[in-house]
Amino acid sequence: MRPGYRQYGNMTAEPARTTDVAALALDYGDRVIVGTVRDVHQAVSSRLFRTTRLVGGRVPESLHDAVVTSVYGAVSGVLRVSSGSVRALASRGVGRPIEATPRGRLVVAAINGLIGDELRMLDDPQAITMAVRVDGADVAPTGWPLTQAFRDATSHPVIFLHGLCENDESWSNGAKAHGTTYPQRVATETDGTPVLIRYNTGLHISENGHHLDTLIQQLIENWPVPITRITLIGHSMGGLVARAATNHATAAGETWHHLVRDIVCLGTPHAGANLEKVAHLGSQLLRFWPESAPFSSILEQRSAGIVDLRHGYISRDEWEGQDLTGQWGLDRIAAAPLAHAEYHFVAATLGASQRHPLSGVLGDLLVHFSSATGVGPAGPIVEGARFEYLPSAHHFALLNHPRVGDWIVDWITARTRAPRALPAST
């Protein structure tokens, strides 16, 4: 087995290598950077040559276009040839496995968040497949691998789902400062067994929900001990994936969702993420001028997973057949919450209070307070959900914060809870 490459069960596959990453960078250098510069150059020169046509006709413009086409074509050709050569090296095993280090695994997670749907379509080795993870490696959801990976398994798996461009190791953010993580606290302070999931965050949230539905069914069938309870904990997009999975299971007539007692969503954009809305608006505005239109195409290349965050969609019916880069998405499909589960929404703001200017404008930097608490334009998205508020904290602090850790432990261990109302829309 290659150094730094582990396996649990039969999930070993040819790993993505540093050469695969380099080839992908060359491809996008050609398509995005060179293509954008060329299109901007063409738009600017076309405007400038309008005046020269009155004196010299189209001769200067034709000569300019011929030279420019030749230059950009040569640069593009070099990048394409280089990409092909590097990919050939990768196919021969040249290059270090990119996932051999935590930094490399983080790079792969970020790439999947940005263009994961395209990677999957191209069958690129960097495309992530949803899997249970232990020590940075996939665990096959079958009997022996699960038994080996979870020797102290309890009947209560607590499933952790990371957010966009993150991975299973993101839950360790701030571990040195705080001395612990949520999974560690679940393992030592509750009857739960932490189960970390990694998935391709560039795919549609509804598709990842389908994959999670299937994976949880496999866990129930092959877990070392009979499962009597399930808790789902998601950061940002992960909260939407958790809700998408229970929604899919309900629609498909599955039964595992009856085991779910708590769904915890940390900074989840239930009503949409402001940053994605800004990106969408920016791409629309850039189309108005020929010189800026090429930059609009860059923004429009974001993954399906990112686009889904615009309105927090969890159902395929909400996006299927729609133009993902157009003005779409104000109608929501009702997704009934699990009647037997409690929903816990945690919202953070950069300011020390909800009324602070930073809180009102930026929320936790990526998600607005009202969206994180599940309040949309038409009211609560999940009726009866409870919420907690963390002031003076940014979006990624929710991955590992002592106060949030206390809440999670309390929610898992508490037998009775007093009802709490949702906040008014802000």
Asked whether residue 172 carries a pLDDT value surpassing 50, the answer given is yes
Give kind and range of the element (H or E) at residue 131: strand 131-134
The pLDDT of residue 305:
85
Q: Do the Cβ atoms of 166 and 201 come closer than 8 Å?
A: yes
Residue type, 305: G
Select from 284, 289, 266, 279 the least CA-distant residue to 367. 266
SS3 call for 320: coil
DSSP label at residue 196: E
Q: What pLDDT sits at residue 49?
A: 54
Residue 89 pLDDT more than 90? Answer: no
pLDDT over 80 at 415, yes or no: no
CA distance 238 to 171: 12
Q: How confident is the model at residue 306 (pLDDT cuts 50, 70, 90)?
A: confident
pLDDT tens-digit readout, 29-84: 556 555 555 555 465 556 555 665 555 556 565 665 566 566 656 666 666 777 67
Give 304's pLDDT tier (boundaries 50, 70, 90): confident
Q: How big, in percent rounded to 5, are the helix, strand and coil portions of the chain?
A: 50, 10, 40
CB contact at 8 A, 210 and 248: yes
Report, as an integer, the average pLDDT of 222-251. 96
- Cβ distance 205 to 134 under 8 Å? no
Across residues 3-8, what is the average pLDDT?
39
Tokens 């261990």, residue located: 413
Average pLDDT over residues 323-330: 46
Q: With the C-alpha atoms ordered 387, 315, 117, 17, is the resulting torsion angle positive or negative?
A: positive
Q: Kindly tell me if the per-residue pLDDT of 255 is higher than 70.
A: yes
- How far apart CA 285 and CA 383 sit, in angstroms, is 36
In whole angstroms, how far apart are CA 122 and each of 119, 126, 136, 279?
A: 5, 10, 24, 25
Q: Which of 28, 48, 41 is nearest to 72 (CA)?
A: 41
Half-sphere exposure of 246 (CA within 13 A, CB side): 29
Task: Return the DSSP state at 224.
Answer: S
Return the exposure string of 376-387: e unless at least 16 CB atoms fall within 10 Å of the residue's CB, then b.
Answer: beeebbbeebbb
The predicted structure's pLDDT at residue 249? 93
For residue 331, name the pLDDT band (cuts at 50, 70, 90).
Answer: very low
Q: At what angle do helices 182-189 and 402-413 cross, to 10 degrees?
A: 40
Q: What is the mean pLDDT of residues 136-146?
A: 95
- What does the alpha-carbon distance between residue 294 and residue 388 come to, in Å, rounded to a whole number? 42
Query: What average pLDDT is seen over the chain?
Result: 79
Token digits for 344? Answer: 């816990």
CA-based nearest residue to 79, from 122, 7, 30: 30
